[in-house]
A and B are shown apart, each in its own frame.
Chain A
Amino acid sequence: AGSDEPAPVTETDVTKVVLLINGNLGDRSFFDSAEVGFNQLVEDYAGKVEVKIIEMGFDNSKWEPGLIDASEAGYDVIVVGTWQMQELLEDIAPQYPDNNYIIFDTVANPEITNVYSMVYKQNECAFLAGAVAASVAGNEPIGFLGGMDILVINDFLVGYIEGAQSVNPDVQVKISYIGDFNDSAKGKEMALAQYQSGVAIGFNVAGQAGLGQIDAAAEVNKLAIGVDSDQEALFRDMGEDAKADLIATSALKEVGNSLYRAIEMHMDGTLVYGEAEALGLAEGAVGYVKSQWIIDNGYADMVDELVVKIAAGDIVVSSANGLTTEELTTLRDAVK
């Protein structure tokens, strides 16, 4: 009986972790990165950690049962991600005070003592992307191809614009949202539209749909910047070196690293539940790919310098947090 739920944990020396994905794996960035981190963890701590990953799909109404199930199954740590899970977790975590929860990419109510939160300063890595883009473009406009008009994406956008402005205060940014994270053909078309209206280099923040930008770049022989994971490596994997060569760098959001670190701390007993951390360049939770291109074209020093300044707090990058639609529109119009 009870085969429809994992057996309760009996041994105490194995840390049982579950990752609930409110969506599906295969995004090649966010959730996949989490998976990679966990896989690394299991490899490094063989026999000490067990990890189960559950995909809950995209239907919001299925997430609550998933979280309750996991909460009742006796895991040592229950990991969820994104703002979309936050309110659910705030609802459910207090009902299971003996459980430990980790939520990433958003901050849960700090009054809940069994939840550890971490957010990523994606605006910081986007700042680097913006700086590179503006340097490359000179007086030409740069592009931003977002998946959807949502906070995380706009946080990238804000950082990107600021980074670009730090190089060229008059920079012009062409901004499009695909409206979808899957339709890479559409992503390609929109990226092409940007390139054709003069954009010298584009930054895609749109999951798989954003990969269309790389294809577009190859078509017009212009440059692109990837996101989340190393997209240059991805294209080399696919055997598409020509395309890979056009990816100047990628802005990294190291979800996997941060989760690895958090679970490690949990096992050491150093993770403080009830706390929230904002992880940025300083913590190595976001970053950039120091690609051959960056080195060859002599941007490495400039970017590294920016990294140091941001990590040290000498440069404070703005965030999209709390901006209204109107404020965002104003911001976007200002760089049109």
Chain B
Amino acid sequence: MIKKLDRLRRFEMIRTLAAVGLALGIAFLLILFTSEQPIDALRAFILGPISKFRYFGNVLELMIPLLFTGLAVSVMFSANQFNLISEGAFFVGALGSSWIATNFLLPAGIHPVVGILVAGLIGAVVAMIPAILKLKWNADVLVSSLMLNYILMFLGFYFLNYHLRDPQAGDMASFKFPDSARLMKILPGTRVHIGLIVAILAVILIYLFMFKTRWGYEIRMVGKNESFAKYSGMNVFRVIIVSQMVGGFLAGLGGGIEMLGMYTRFKYKTLPGFGWDGVIVAILAKNNPALVPVGAFFLAYLRIGADIMSRSTDVSSQLVGIIQGVVIILVAAEHFMSKRKNRIIYEESMADLSAVKEAK
């Protein structure tokens, strides 16, 4: 039994590597077709992020929002709600923290804390809406959350234009954040800020929440089988609302942290896309909070590698979209090399059986 698990685990690693390898092969072909410096481009893509400390810092910086939305989506999906509100929650969270940053004078230590907490709370509130529409009126969560994202964006712009906008700014942007509101940088030479620590804490806490507390237990049971949860005496309504609020809180928090950690003013002119990225991360992590960092790192590495490639070589930044897509699809492909996997399972199971027989 132990042997079987080992062999399977080793196989899973080989499989993932093979998927990445194949995806890179395809990427290389695409690069080969269009680039005069394909080798350099590929090297920049693969090794770029670890070629300089600052570049690795970029990976970590990008991981922070991905960790939050990845966790957010994991929790929301765990309750079997395809709520895509993390996109909108992230956005309004970012806006909420900007509001606190620009309109309130608070001491340095407290200012960002209030900012991101408010961001989280706003996220929690908006994430509840699709769930309520579903529970009360049976409206499809995926669709209503998609629509709500647009509504939140326009509401956000209204709020920005009429309450936060800096008329001196040459663009639709808020007033500048005071230094007291900004998050501390923690790695000299990079922009990595204390948000990374908060994110890691969030991963641990959400892992514990989902797997070691009764609320997480309730969410998982509701997600796996709502009828069973109801039958077991769980308040399904409340559990779903709570799960969506926790998810929304995380996404909002992520927005606030991204804003106060990486920006000097609120500048988004469209939804920033981290919600969709969160879906990618969560699915790669199979909704398991403990695996979210792996998914987030993977995606961040891919993106930064692609950036470095398109900055430093002649590969256009749009090609990168294709490469990312290929890599993501192949890595998440369950049936990729499944014949081999089934063969291993078969061989090991049969070996187990005959071992048992011989023992007898």
Contact = CB atoms under 8 A, between A and B. Distances in A.
Do A's and B's CB atoms come within 8 Å in the complex?
yes
A83 interface: yes
Contacts of A3: 37, 39-40, 43-44, 312-313
Nearest to B312: A4
Contacts of B294: none
Given A65-B58, A65-B307, A5 B171 contact: no
B109 interface: no
A152 B58 CA distance: 31
B170 A82 contact: yes
A64 interface: yes
A150 B308 contact: no
Nearest to B45: A4
Given A59-B272, A65-B55, A5 B170 contact: no
- Band of interface residues on A: 35 or more
Interface of B: 37, 39-40, 43-44, 47-48, 51, 54-55, 58, 61-62, 154, 157, 161-162, 165, 167-172, 176, 191, 258, 262-265, 267-270, 272-273, 307-313, 316-318
A17 B115 CA distance: 41
B172 A148 contact: yes
A54 B58 CA distance: 18
B161 A325 contact: yes
A8 B117 CA distance: 46
B167 A4 contact: no
Q: Which one of A179, A325, A327 has the greatest number of beta carbons of chain B within 10 Å? A: A325
A69 B157 CA distance: 32
B269 A6 contact: no
Given A4-B48, A69-B311, A151 B43 contact: no
A152 B170 contact: yes
A83 B43 contact: no
B36 to A, nearest CB: 13
Nearest to A55: B317
Given A61-B258, A150-B172, A325-B161, 14 more contacts: A4-B43, A4-B313, A55-B310, A56-B317, A60-B268, A61-B61, A64-B191, A65-B307, A69-B311, A69-B312, A84-B170, A151-B169, A321-B168, A322-B167
15 contacts: A4-B47, A4-B48, A54-B310, A56-B317, A82-B170, A83-B170, A83-B171, A84-B267, A87-B176, A87-B265, A149-B157, A149-B161, A149-B172, A150-B269, A152-B171
B346 to A, nearest CB: 45
A56 B191 CA distance: 18
Interface of A: 2-6, 24, 54-62, 64-66, 68-69, 82-84, 86-87, 105-106, 148-152, 179-180, 321-325, 327
A5 to B, nearest CB: 5
A325 B158 CA distance: 10
Contacts of B310: 54-55
Which are the 9 A-B pairs with shortest beta-carbon distances? A83-B170, A4-B44, A3-B40, A324-B167, A4-B312, A150-B172, A151-B170, A4-B48, A83-B171
B44 A65 contact: no
B284 to A, nearest CB: 20
B167 A84 contact: no
A4 B43 CA distance: 8
B316 A151 contact: no
B262 A61 contact: yes
Contacts of B308: 4
A56 B167 contact: no
Contacts of A55: 310, 316-317
A179 B156 CA distance: 13
Contacts of B312: 3-6, 69
A151 B171 contact: yes
A256 to B, nearest CB: 20
A59 B65 CA distance: 13
Contacts of B168: 321-322
A62 B170 contact: no
Contacts of B262: 60-61
A68 B54 contact: yes
A310 B165 CA distance: 31
B261 to A, nearest CB: 10
B300 to A, nearest CB: 11
Nearest to A60: B267
B317 A24 contact: yes
Given A66-B311, A149-B161, A84 B171 contact: yes
B227 to A, nearest CB: 43
A275 B3 CA distance: 72
Contact of A148 (B58, B176, B269, B313): B269
Nearest to B311: A54
Nearest to B306: A57
Contacts of A59: 272-273
B52 to A, nearest CB: 8
A56 B171 contact: no
